[in-house]
Structure 1
Amino acid sequence: MKSRTRISVTQTQRMALTTGLATSIRILRADAAGLSRYLEEAAAENPQILLTRPQVQDWIPRWKSAFAWDAERPEQEAAGPSLIAHVLGLIESLRLNPQEARIAMVLAEALEPSGWLGRPPAAIAGQLGVTVAAVDGILDRLQKQAEPTGLFARNLADCLRLQAEEAGQLDKPMRALLDRLDLLAKGEIDRIAREAGLEPSDLRQAFGRLRSYDPKPGAGFEPFAAPVREPDLIAEKGQAGWIISLNRSALPSVSVAEGRAKGRAEARALIKMIEGRNATLLSVGQDILTRQEAALEEGLGALVPMTMADVAQSLGLHESTISRVVAGTAVDTPRGTWWLRTLFTKAVHEGGPAAGALRDRLARLVAEEDPDHPLSDEALAVALAEGGAPIARRTVAKYRAMLNLPPAHRRKRRA
């Protein structure tokens, strides 16, 4: 029997992460500071990209109605700990010896706002005069105990690997993607498949799971402390309600140089991506704060249940797009500067109040308690239930730990 060569024509659909799509995703995910750095790098490579930088000034958060609140202090409305407070609580819970605690504290100081380490373990070991193995050992313990998963990651690949491990999804296709994130960013799925000896379809399924992970687990902390940098959005109340606008002083304006030199097409494409990013950011921010209008009016105790899926369905966007937009995005309000991600909060139970609102009320109850007779978790549960929010004692203990509040016996004032 002779073999014959056949030519056939078939039509298939495949997902490819092109360079343009990867750039668009990067711009969409970037906050104002990150986007500014990216634009400066792009302008350095392409002289057709012209940047007009805003006047540099220190950002002072807006407290327009602060003086009308009498003794109420908006900074007391925080419903969650800062990143450093959260990490210090984690270090305390590990019960380390003095030398281990010293290493852990330097690791905590090296954390970036994203939740990643800003310095390699070898540099930290050199600073402390200890072995790299000693630093790696403490780092491994912190990574295993940290919540959310991904804190103390060495880099993006390490952050995603930790989350894949926790989800039980660190299989061979996922490892292949994490080992080749540079190729994945270019959309070279087929090349990764050839190098790893895997099927492209398996890699695409793994990529779908990979997109659900949080690349910046530290971005949800320090929700109500004013960021060092300027916020991305500004919320102001007008006659027709709350209006969200871009903070133009946080971003340089981009234009295309005159003439017919090479690079003009890339410059115009970049401007189009930025305009798309700004439009998406505005629509997402407007939808979020419209849903949380009561929190803008009354404080974080008035937060209502809201998920990313709710916003995505309302705007006709994918949930992953909402996650990318709100990662590290801050909004300036008359009650302080908030991170958008922290305004997402689920209901304690179906039809019940938002967990974020309960945490805010819990923080207020502890702040107002008698230091000589602090409230137990059971008493706090009863007090919260009086506001129409039945809550179990174990849930109160969980929220108290999230707020970095010690138990009653440790809050009691010592004579």
Structure 2
Amino acid sequence: MSGQRIGLRQSQRLQLNTALQTSIRLLRMDAGGLTRFLEEQAETNPYLRVEAPPVVPGQWLPRWSQAFSAGSAPEAAATGPSLMSHVLTEIDALTRSSRERQIALVLAEALEPSGWLGVPLEVLARRAGCATGDAAAVLKRLQRMEPAGLFAEDLSDCLRIQAEEAGVMDPVMEVCLDNLPLLAEGAIGRLARLAACEEADVLRRIRVIRSFDPKPGAQFDPGTVDAREPDLVVTRSAGGWDVQLNRSALPAVAVVRPGSRPAQPEERARLAAALELTRMLERRNATLLRIAREVLSRQSAALEAGLGALGPLRQTEIAEALGLNDSTVSRAVAGVAVATPLGTWRMVDLFATQLGDSSGPAIRSALTRLIAAENPRRPLSDRALAEALGLVGHPVARRTVTKYREMLRIPTAGQRRR
């Protein structure tokens, strides 16, 4: 009869505490998700105050839907053809020569999901190899495109195009559109004095402005493009490229400190939780900035020439360079968007899977350019596109071309043929 034995066995188990779970959760949130989470925390913690994101001049304008809200969300995209597919079709009808078409294609590549141009016209003119006046003339033709407001240079320009299309542009409307910050502040009296009119006249123009769409490009199927406000902003500085948090997308968080030490244990716990949450938020922002700056410093060629110039890059390389865990980098870049002079990009696209010596975004960029430049009467098949991509340094299979073409919501060659 075998006897029972009592033995000791040592084992290790990692159990995530609540603070660590919250820290990980914050790291993987984009700006919108972070705002909602913080608002929920503030509702249950009297020591935590969350204020609406501030408007930061010159960083990411506009947040005008809050100021002019008409009860609907113009950012909500409908299903249908992609913005690029629509624009390429319209360019054929609006341009009169091959040179105009070439300039138009350069302008089209700079469109953001909102339908605005994401790059100054002077820069686009240099890319197209033409005078700024010639680019402006082509741009004027493209701005006739439906829906009105596409190819606007900024918010004021977008609303102005729609006002002219609707036949409601007059001196009072001109003053309102030239002074959108005053309109956002609700400074009706100041606007009335500038326009030399009654306040009621300004209010009537505001009602008309509310009927306009500030993001006409969002009417189209966004495909793989993220049309929301970006989490990071990249600008050129004297020392190179500068990466900053988009403060207009982040709420202001503060701890409301009591006049005296809270007496009840529950109150002390809530104050401690509020303080810890602000520290977690600071660590989250600092980690995101470190990763973004390292990534974009290695992909600076793309900031100059577009996604087609992306080089090979893996998340493990960034993790090793910064002394972080691979999962930390993966969580931080998931869902994050960055506004660059060439448009708004998803951070994950900068780590695209490599195909030969090319990245996914580089191939999609080259594919878009090939289709945009093709003869509309003899469009290229997917097989022909694969061969053409191979000639420009992107060797891919036909099925890969088909996958990316469908991802970009570009019709088949038969559907593109006119």
User: After TM superposition, is the score higher than 0.5?
Assistant: yes
How far is the alpha carbon of 1:357 from its aligned partner? 0.7
- Distance of aligned partners of 1:4 and 1:381 in 2 relative to their CA distance in 1, 3 Å threshold: closer
Q: 1:65-111: CA deviations, max 9, x gaps?
A: 344202869xxxxxxxxxxxxxxxxxxxxxxxxxxxxxxxxxxxxxx
2:57 corresponds to 1:50:
no
Give secondary structure in 2 for the equivalent of 1:237: strand
Which residue number corresponds to residue 257 of structure 2? 258
Give the counterpart of 2:416 among 406, 411, 415. 411
328-337 vs 303-312, greater mean Cα deviation: 303-312
How far is the alpha carbon of 1:32 from its aligned partner? 1.1
Give the partner amino acid of 1:45. T
Give the counterpart of 2:389 among 384, 389, 397. 384
Gaps in structure 2 of 5+ consecutive residues = 56-62, 66-113, 129-134, 136-221
Give the counterpart of 2:292 among 285, 293, 297. 285
Q: Distance in 1 between matches of 2:399 and 2:7?
A: 67
Give the partner amino acid of 1:65. P
How far is the alpha carbon of 1:14 from its aligned partner? 0.7
Give secondary structure in 2 for the equivalent of 1:388: coil
Which residue number corresponds to residue 123 of structure 2? 68
Q: Distance in 1 between matches of 2:224 and 2:121?
A: 18
Quote the sequence identity (%). Answer: 46
Number of equivalenced pairs:
261
2:391 corresponds to 1:336:
no
Q: Distance in 2 between matches of 1:226 and 1:386?
A: 33
- Distance of aligned partners of 1:38 and 1:395 in 2 relative to their CA distance in 1, 3 Å threshold: closer
Which residue number corresponds to residue 32 of structure 2? 33
Q: Distance in 1 between matches of 2:223 and 2:408?
A: 11
2:352 corresponds to 1:348:
no
- Distance of aligned partners of 1:364 and 1:279 in 2 relative to their CA distance in 1, 3 Å threshold: same
Q: 1:247-304: CA deviations, max 9, x gaps?
A: 1222222222223222211111101110110011101111221222111110111122
Q: Distance in 1 between matches of 2:325 and 2:304?
A: 29
Give secondary structure in 2 for the equivalent of 1:22: helix
Alignment of 1:14-413 (within 5 A): 14-55=13-54, 57-58=63-64, 63=118, 65-70=120-125, 224=225, 226-227=227-228, 230-259=229-258, 260-261=261-262, 262=267, 263-349=270-356, 352-413=357-418
How far is the alpha carbon of 1:369 from its aligned partner? 0.9
392-401 vs 310-319, greater mean Cα deviation: 392-401
Give the partner amino acid of 2:244. S
How far is the alpha carbon of 1:391 from its aligned partner? 3.2
Which residue number corresponds to residue 141 of structure 1? none
Q: Distance in 1 between matches of 2:336 and 2:223?
A: 12
How far is the alpha carbon of 1:239 from its aligned partner? 2.0
Q: Distance in 1 between matches of 2:279 and 2:121?
A: 39
Assess if the C-alpha contact under 8 Å between 1:62 and 1:332 holds in 2.
no
How far is the alpha carbon of 1:244 from its aligned partner? 0.8
Assess if the C-alpha contact under 8 Å between 1:304 and 1:345 holds in 2.
no
Assess if the C-alpha contact under 8 Å between 1:223 and 1:339 holds in 2.
no
Q: Distance in 2 between matches of 1:39 and 1:225?
A: 22
Q: 1:180-208: CA deviations, max 9, x gaps?
A: xxxxxxxxxxxxxxxxxxxxxxxxxxxxx
Q: Distance in 2 between matches of 1:62 and 1:43?
A: 38
Assess if the C-alpha contact under 8 Å between 2:379 and 2:413 holds in 1.
yes
Give the partner amino acid of 2:28. R
- Distance of aligned partners of 1:307 and 1:7 in 2 relative to their CA distance in 1, 3 Å threshold: closer
265-274 vs 15-24, greater mean Cα deviation: 15-24
Which residue number corresponds to residue 202 of structure 1? none
Q: Distance in 1 between matches of 2:257 and 2:232?
A: 31
Assess if the C-alpha contact under 8 Å between 1:312 and 1:319 holds in 2.
yes
Structure index of larger Rg? 2
Give secondary structure in 1 for the equivalent of 2:358: coil
RMSD: 2.8
How far is the alpha carbon of 1:366 from its aligned partner? 0.8
Which residue number corresponds to residue 81 of structure 1? none
Give the partner amino acid of 1:353. S
Q: 1:301-326: CA deviations, max 9, x gaps?
A: 11222222222222222222222212
How far is the alpha carbon of 1:4 from its aligned partner? 8.7
Q: Distance in 1 between matches of 2:402 and 2:54?
A: 47
Assess if the C-alpha contact under 8 Å between 1:66 and 1:335 holds in 2.
no
Give secondary structure in 1 for the equivalent of 2:243: strand
The two structures have a TM-score, normalised by structure 2, of 0.56
How far is the alpha carbon of 1:225 from its aligned partner? 5.3
Q: Distance in 2 between matches of 1:55 and 1:253?
A: 8
